[in-house]
Structure 1
């Protein structure tokens, strides 16, 4: 949900951003309940786009993302006073559940000026249960800030979001936060980045801590010292380097120039030519870092990461971090267009946009695609939906062209047109209408009722899509019982809307039990949903205990054969079906049919027949033979030579035959029950380490991979890495609280599916 509080939309004072000689953007003071408006004067659209920074803040939970965002808004003049997570008055955490728990649940966006840039910032959740929020936001951003807890260093969710950012080619800055805290270790944190994230750190700042007081940073680029006053205003002054920081700064400066000489062609030439003065000029250094970040991101090379440091809570280092965003992260124009996804020989493949402009005669449809793209069409990507009293709001990124109000857009998934009724800039519960939006803008649209998360919208009919958003299958399920039929109907309607908003949430009616099943990414995910249903919609319901979503698979390659006889409209049909089933390594199942092949009776598998058979095979994989869980890591292939039916056989009979064959034969063969295994990471007092490890290994079938201990002032903290079955971790929060006396933080992130031991399978079957 992309909104901010009304107060955040009130500008403190009139500001002026000089963008180019003779042109400017004026930011006017807002009147009550209005949003900060931007008035363009002489600025050309391209010049404006060059100054946009679409960025996200991502990190492990409690690393300080929201606090960092609050300080940014404060120093940009958007709020009179920075909010505090503990006080529940932050701008971007607006849900009551967020304020009650002190965590971010839904992504929140806000725009503000800084120097010559317009920063469109999205604060994302840090808890693993809300990873889809991070996923879809990173999908449409151009850069990011990875926030690291300077005490804990790299944590489990840090690795997860880092990989997500890698997948979407996001250039990023690293911000080491909380350096005011006892036990903070800047260099140890960077060592963890290099070892666990595989990226070399470009130290642009070095912290100076004196008597446990974080008093300033050395600016490695300029070789000066920034001393923090530590007041709410975030005052600082630039001074010559203290003698104690000289050696470390010189070493970091030399290392920075050396790494840039290896990574940047211009810098490399200067290095070989001995042009030291050019290499050491701060402007040249920053430009080289920017070039490297942008070029490497295009190549999916994230081996170098610029590093800043500070303490957001203590108002130290935020302005310098914003300067880094302004100077180093790319504009939409520098990022370029995303890959085009289209079908080649029935396979969805990604092709760089520019390559699509040159058709391949061997690939059907490539000429039509190239012709369409050469017309410079409008291309948008819908990455989030939000229900409102006005209808469904679609949040979209404009990748190419200009979208205007009342425009008709073509949905490449539904292959149908829809009309935009309104284009909006959204701030909290206030919207500001726009006549049009340009490349690089993130906007909200009304009127597109058939659009879903991940849809591609164009100005005319087209046969392609942009990269879809990855949504992991939910791992927890609860049964939901409403008080009466009227409440059940209302509940189903609300859940339909909420599952459109949140693709990681799934609900269905179980055919066997007749119960409503609600599935989500974790205990917290489902707990918060239950609270929202009650608070926002007044829906009271009974929820069962949470249970794990297992998966099923085959243990070996098998062949299934069956025959079905059906009588429809006074005519008898006999269908024989043969299929091959085997394990596969792919994350998703593989369903293979061979269109235009002939069965044993010489009947060709045309489009209609092939579609019916494929639907039947997918239905087979949706329900395994052991406990009815979805099959995974399974390849299923229909063997035309083992099939038999005549030309008049209706497709519905073919589909039923496939399902009947599966149901009758699969139980005769070896199948496996699989359970989700989680990467477990906990930071606890070393005194409690033995109790926690014993509990994991003896009571929860856990396998401890590594235990490390670090000094934190006068105490020691242990970090435990393990792999544990999710089924054994239900209600674990209260257990570890007792084991550690409340001094702990832990996280679970999905690792893989593994076969359930035989004794546990029997326990699961009994519902224990």
Structure 2
């Protein structure tokens, strides 16, 4: 039931060529590892922006282009995901920035469903931290190849060989450095290119707001310039060669190895090398499997899936933006596609490319690109869209909430705004909304992976929907999926409550794991299943 532009003027070969030009990736890290700073630096080196947002650290930094929410700018952390598109060396990059805070790992998981590779950012002084490892596990599970960047080499940190050992021991991936630092951490002079043997010397500018100076020297010239420091770098690089820690493209794509680069995002050192590396080795857009695990060819008619829904990006309009990863074919603005989840037509009149909070109309997009569809109230996270031959891509699972609060409107005269705000936050997946006949619509329960999600929800309710609210913490910490036949039994248990989620799932909430175990022993026939992310 499609109308409007239904076919592209691009030949299948042209579409495949455009797909090969795409590099769609995410940056993953523990909070405060420099992720948003690296995002800025990559865009700066690709000439997509004129000046990087970082100056001399968070106390003096301007807000980065990818951190557009007021809470992000105030706290200097990323709590939403953002999409940035730019070109470099005839390659189109789709960089999906992700929330840095662990409380928003569910949003990060959604973004990782839309990328073809990842850059894992590691703080030179802290090594692999908790959130980094959690996100690494998601990438490993989804088969996403990883390039590792050792960041903040301009500050004191661990020995480089010790960091390689840690990566190998904790991830199981063999690190295969492409560059090696010249100068110990805290004295970052440049890098040795392990492929060519050449030395790239960096010259810092005033604070890292512009592209750092780079000069390339042959090994002999590097020896004269840096002396013993260069000799140390060469000796350590030779140890890597003896251990066969050399790049192998097949092993990288299979997730057995991780290429490693050394950088200082805040000074723009090593950023150019990262872009060149992604151009050379990161996978391009490829056929994506549908729910039946059948790959959809990139030159098939248009298809895509929604991995994020975001509102409140434009303070002048109450619009809703659905981020769609193009999986196959050519997206053309104005085309009418089919919403696979409902079978209904969906018009794409208002389609935009997103650069942080800034947007511009997009007329066409290719596999790997991310398109923002405006006023997409009918679309939800995980939905599929297609033209001609039907395709349904795997849905995006919802995390199990671990924190719960009741939310109520402070002003009963603004209940309409309150209800609209709750529905919007639920639709976006900002927070999970749970209801029951006992509590009623005026006091729904909010479920969150992390406490900061409540802060975001409250901030948006007040500032975006003009619906002041109050939140009351509930004494629950565990959720299990149940079925309707089990509800009467569970409802009679103390410190247990059953609520309905908007996707139709019934969740039984327990105060702690001991209460859960007690109920399971007393009622072995009751259905209580973990909410598994896959």
- What does the per-residue CA deviation read over 1:272-293, in whole Å, with 9 as the maximum and x for residues that have no partner? xxxxxxxxxxxxx7xxx44443
The corresponding residue for 1:351 is 293
Matches of 1:675 and 1:414 in 2, distance apart? 38
Q: 1:757 and 1:61, CA in 2 relative to 1: closer, same or farther beyond 3 A?
A: farther
What per-residue deviation string (whole Å, max 9, x for no partner) do you get for residues 172-217 of structure 1?
2000111222233323322222122111111212223259412222
Of 321, 333, 340, 2:274 maps to: 321
Matched, 1:405 2:242: no
| C-alpha deviation, 1:617, in angstroms | 3.4
Residue 155 of structure 2 is matched in structure 1 by 181
- The CA deviation at 1:396 is 0.7
- The answer for the alignment partner of 1:387 in structure 2 is 311
Secondary structure of the 2:420 match is helix
Contact 1:425 1:434 in 2 (8 A): yes
Q: Distance in 2 between matches of 1:383 and 1:533?
A: 23
Computing the radius of gyration over CA atoms, which structure comes out larger, 1 or 2? 1
Q: Which residue pairs with 1:81 in the alignment? A: 51
**Separation in 2, partners of 1:211, 1:56:** 26
Distance 1:126 1:757, change over 3 A: farther
Q: 1:214 to 1:408 in 2, by over 3 A?
A: same
1:139 aligns to 2:113 (yes or no)? yes
Over 3 Å counting, the alpha-carbon distance change for 1:540 and 1:44 in structure 2 is: same
TM-superposed deviation, 1:374: 13
2-structure distance, mates of 1:198, 1:54: 24
CA drift of 1:756 comes to 10
Give the counterpart of 2:24 among 54, 69, 85. Answer: 54
TM-score of the aligned structures, taking structure 2 as reference length = 0.81
- Is contact 1:200-1:304 (8 Å) kept? yes
Q: Which residue of 2 aligns with 1:532?
A: 460
Map Cα deviations across residues 448-475 of structure 1 (whole Å, 9 max, x no partner): 432211011122474x621211221221
Alignment check: 8 A CA contact 1:149 1:178 kept: yes
Question: Is 1:120–2:94 an aligned residue pair?
Answer: yes
Q: After TM superposition, where is structure 1 displaced by more than 6 Å over at least 4 residues in a row?
A: 753-758
In structure 2, distance between residues paired with 1:446 and 1:468: 21
Q: Which residue of 2 aligns with 1:338?
A: 288
Give the whole-Å Cα distance in 2 for the aligned partners of 1:418 and 1:211: 53
Q: What number of residue pairs does the alignment pair up?
A: 481
Q: CA deviation at 1:504?
A: 4.1
Rate the CA distance shift 1:316–1:431 in 2: closer, same or farther, 3 A. closer
Equivalent residue, structure 2, for 1:472: 399
1:210–1:149 Cα change, 3 Å: closer
Partners of 2:84 and 2:134 in 1: how far apart?
24
Residue aligning to 1:244:
232
The alpha carbon displacement at 1:310 in A equals 1.5
Q: Tell me: CA distance 1:226–1:138, structure 2 relative to 1, closer, same or farther (3 Å).
A: same
Secondary structure in 2 aligned to 1:465? coil
Deviation at 1:380, TM superposition (A): 1.3
The 5 Å alignment of 1:254-403 reads 254-255=242-243, 258=244, 289-294=248-253, 296=254, 302-332=255-285, 336-341=286-291, 350-353=292-295, 376-387=300-311, 389=317, 391-403=319-331
CA contact (8 A) 2:328 2:367 kept: yes
Measure, in 2, the Cα distance between the counterparts of 1:374 and 1:49: 7
Aligned to 1:675: 512
Which position in structure 1 is the counterpart of 2:351? 423
- Runs of 5+ consecutive residues of structure 1 not aligned to the other structure: 1-39, 261-284, 297-301, 342-349, 355-372, 553-587, 592-615, 632-658, 660-670, 677-724, 728-752, 759-768
Q: Distance in 1 between matches of 2:349 and 2:402?
A: 38
- Greater RCO, 1 or 2 (C-alpha within 8 Å, sep 6+): 2
Partner Cα separation in structure 2 for residue 201 and residue 216 of structure 1: 20
The alpha-carbon distance between structure 1 residues 479 and 510, as it changes in their structure 2 partners (threshold 3 A), is farther
What is the rounded CA distance, in whole Å, between the counterparts of 1:159 and 1:413 in structure 2? 34
1-structure distance, mates of 2:490, 2:362: 45
Tell me how large the CA RMSD over aligned residues is.
3.4
What is the CA–CA distance in structure 2 between the aligned matches of 1:109 and 1:537, rounded to whole Å? 24
Please give the alpha-carbon distance, in whole angstroms, between the structure 2 residues aligned to 1:129 and 1:81. Answer: 30
Structure 2: gaps spanning 5 or more residues: 1-9, 223-229, 500-505, 522-534
Aligned 8 A contact 1:143 1:329 in 2: yes
